[in-house]
Chains A and B, each alone.
Chain A
Amino acid sequence: MEAALGLLRRMPPKQSETALSALLSLLPQHSSDLLSQVDLPLQVLRDAESRKDFILCEYNRDADSYRSPWSNKYHPPLEDALYPSSELRKLEVEANDIFAIYRDQYYEGGISSVYMWEDDNEGFVACFLIKKDGSKSGHGRRGCLEEGAWDAIHVIQVGPEEEEMAQYCLTSTIMLSLTTDDEPSGKFGLSGSIRRQMKMELAVAEGHLCNMGRMIEELEGKLRNSLDQVYFGKTREMVCTLRPPAEIVQMRLPDS
């Protein structure tokens, strides 16, 4: 299992789907472990009734059907399917509406879905998903990306309420891939994925949605910044190490 995860860490991020399916076929006995620890680019389905797209993931799946957060119906239809309790469904509906606005403000497009379900320890789990195609042909406002994919997966575990406080444990994964193809830089592609966790104990006075939303906003912002500054920054540093810009070479010459 460790070796399998090691391999996934080294394969090009763009090939993660192929790498995972190869590992699944080599290690069928570990398939549920692998699928629970590895995030794949998100897929989308159309909810014809609500005339809206929704995102597919492990959390809205039952057998081979996926539940739409808009109509609460499984696609394709499924008998005896699992649904969240009506109380939780109410929160889910609310979360979907609000998260769609959040998504629009930060992403200027894209698709979002929120799924919730009760867990074993009297709390619940919520999964907030965003998928954005930022390419020229997609929702890219500035039209600078030949190809641009962003997938955000936020899974948040909410503990039972105790003395007006609740424990929140958020795990966020960002997967992205962007390519520009302009003169004079040619084909320039950056891709990758990172995952981080954040735990907090918060007062529930303002509601779970408010707490979950703030945590997601904070962690998503942090992940975006570290991708931009740390991860992309490291690859930029590497390029400059391989072939330093001329000014640096000239400065070094007198020494050598």
Chain B
Amino acid sequence: MTNVTLQAIAGDNNLILSPPSFALVKAMADEENELQETELSYDQKKEIAKWFLLNAPAGEINYVAKDLKEVLSDEEVYNEAAMEAFPVYNKSHMICLEMPSRAGDVIISSYSEITENEYLDPRTAQVAIVDHVKQICTKVRPAYDEELPSSYIEEFRSALDAEIQRYVSESYPKGVSTVNCTKGKDADGPGMDFELVVIITARKLSPQNFCNGSWRSVWNIDFQDESQVLDIKGKVQVGAHYFEEGNVELDAKKEFQDSTIFQSADDCAIAIANIIRHHETEYLGALEVAYSKLPDNTFKDLRRKLPVTRTLFPWQNTLQFSLTREVEKELGLGNSRNGAFGLKIHLKSNVQQTSIYKRQKKNECINRASLQVISNVLTSVKDVRPKGTRDSSSFRSSDKQPFL
């Protein structure tokens, strides 16, 4: 859901929010004295502010908001952006809020939404009234009859809720769950289709350790009366963010599909909970496998731990290598067109020499001596040729150095 919103925003303001071309970014830097050119409108600022808020990792929206306020230094823009972004963020992250007077917790999601500030907790038949920006539940009221499912549906819903609660308490140290009826809640008996949605979320926030994470599962169970089949669709999303002296993010998601037969409320609940447990356990195992493949497989396709030669790069021989090449060039032996190919061959011979180098210290002196001869020859050749004009002035000003 977040993605859809973001695309929409990016579409409206593609000039600012689509990934910029390199040239554009640079051009912006060059235009820093021409503030007129880059002055943003109120709406553009607001869209940018919303983009930052919506992209906050799990549990970090308030930190993002604090920095954003400072960057914007425009209370009005910030407040309006926050009013629009927080509800979307809270629902897509399915945050869990504590209801006042120990009434339990309520999960904020589009499945339990009555109005933008009111969310149904079907377990306690209460409606939580929330302040999205403060991320608190300010009040609760009993749900009206028309907000609750019929007793026929409630039988299925509460049975499933109990089974899911049992599963969550066994498998998630800090998990919360809810079961909402999203379609056909007024069915008063067999003969009608309806849909229940199971939400399971778990969050672990430890900002002092620069690490936050969240697990979100949504399972849609479509009770099809005619075919007497339950169609089950699941979507699990796992995120983790570690940002101590860096910024690294895990983003994993998977969709599932399954089905079972329409039975009594209690039997359905057990069957569904088992299916969810089975898929989620298997998924966790698959994530573990994906992680275990990283060092020797996946990551290797980006960069190897050691070179193909399995020894550190022979930097000490590169002087010799480049001199050999220079000599070739000077003598007209080198072929610049097949440069890369030629270089590899040289390197191989250098690597062989490295091992000899190590074993026989004697050779080192000989090598050095021969290098000296070659370099002397080269220097003399250079002296004869006219040198290029040398620019002694600094050609990059120091302000471009990327040091922190």
Which A residues fall within an 8 A CB radius of B? Answer: 3-4, 6-15, 17-29, 31-32, 35-37, 39-40, 43, 56, 58-59, 61, 64, 82-87, 89, 94, 97-98, 100-102, 104-108, 117-120, 125, 132, 134-135, 139-145, 148-150, 152-153, 155, 157, 169, 171, 176, 178, 180, 182, 184-197, 206-207, 209-210, 213-214, 217, 220-221, 224-225, 227-228, 231-232, 234-236, 238-239, 241-246, 249, 253
| Alpha-carbon separation in the docked complex, A157 to B303 (Å) | 25
Which of A26, A29, A192, A217 is within 8 Å of B246, CB to CB? Answer: A192
Q: Does chain A have a CB within 8 A of B295?
A: yes
**Interface contact B171-A243, CB-CB below 8 Å:** yes
**Interface contact B402-A97, CB-CB below 8 Å:** no
Which of A32, A105, A176, A182 is within 8 Å of B308, CB to CB? Answer: A105
Query: Nearest Cβ in chain B — how far from A230, in angstroms?
Result: 8
**Interface contact B286-A186, CB-CB below 8 Å:** yes
| Alpha-carbon separation in the docked complex, A82 to B241 (Å) | 42
Query: Nearest Cβ in chain B — how far from A143, in angstroms?
Result: 8
Would you list 19 pairs from A and B whose C-beta atoms are within 8 A, ordered by A residue?
A: A9-B247, A11-B52, A12-B251, A17-B19, A25-B38, A26-B71, A28-B35, A87-B390, A98-B315, A105-B313, A120-B398, A142-B301, A155-B402, A187-B254, A210-B319, A238-B211, A241-B204, A241-B213, A243-B284
Query: Nearest Cβ in chain B — how far from A108, in angstroms?
Result: 7
**Interface contact B29-A35, CB-CB below 8 Å:** yes
| Alpha-carbon separation in the docked complex, A249 to B281 (Å) | 12
Q: Does chain A have a CB within 8 A of B162?
A: no
Which 4 A-B residue pairs are closest in the complex by CB-CB distance? Answer: A186-B254, A192-B248, A105-B307, A194-B246
**Interface contact B297-A224, CB-CB below 8 Å:** no
**Interface contact B246-A234, CB-CB below 8 Å:** no
**Interface contact A106-B307, CB-CB below 8 Å:** yes
| Alpha-carbon separation in the docked complex, A102 to B347 (Å) | 10
Q: Does chain A have a CB within 8 A of B226?
A: no
| Alpha-carbon separation in the docked complex, A145 to B293 (Å) | 11
CB < 8 Å A-B pair total: 369
Which B residues fall within an 8 A CB radius of A? Answer: 10, 16-20, 22-29, 31-32, 35, 38, 40, 44-45, 48, 51-52, 55-57, 60, 63-64, 66-68, 70-72, 170-175, 202-204, 211-215, 238, 240-243, 245-255, 280-291, 293-295, 297-309, 312-313, 315-316, 318-319, 321-322, 325, 339-340, 343-344, 347, 387-396, 398-404
Q: Which residues of A contact B289 (CB under 8 A)?
A: 185
| Alpha-carbon separation in the docked complex, A220 to B250 (Å) | 22
Known A106-B304, A117-B395, A239-B284; 12 more pairs at CB < 8 Å: A17-B25, A24-B38, A28-B38, A84-B391, A98-B322, A105-B313, A184-B282, A185-B289, A195-B404, A210-B319, A234-B242, A238-B250
Which of B290, B301, B347, B391 is within 8 Å of A85, CB to CB? Answer: B391
**Interface contact B215-A10, CB-CB below 8 Å:** no
| Alpha-carbon separation in the docked complex, A43 to B25 (Å) | 12
**Interface contact A10-B243, CB-CB below 8 Å:** yes
**Interface contact A6-B63, CB-CB below 8 Å:** yes
Which of A102, A120, A184, A206 is within 8 Å of B319, CB to CB? Answer: A206
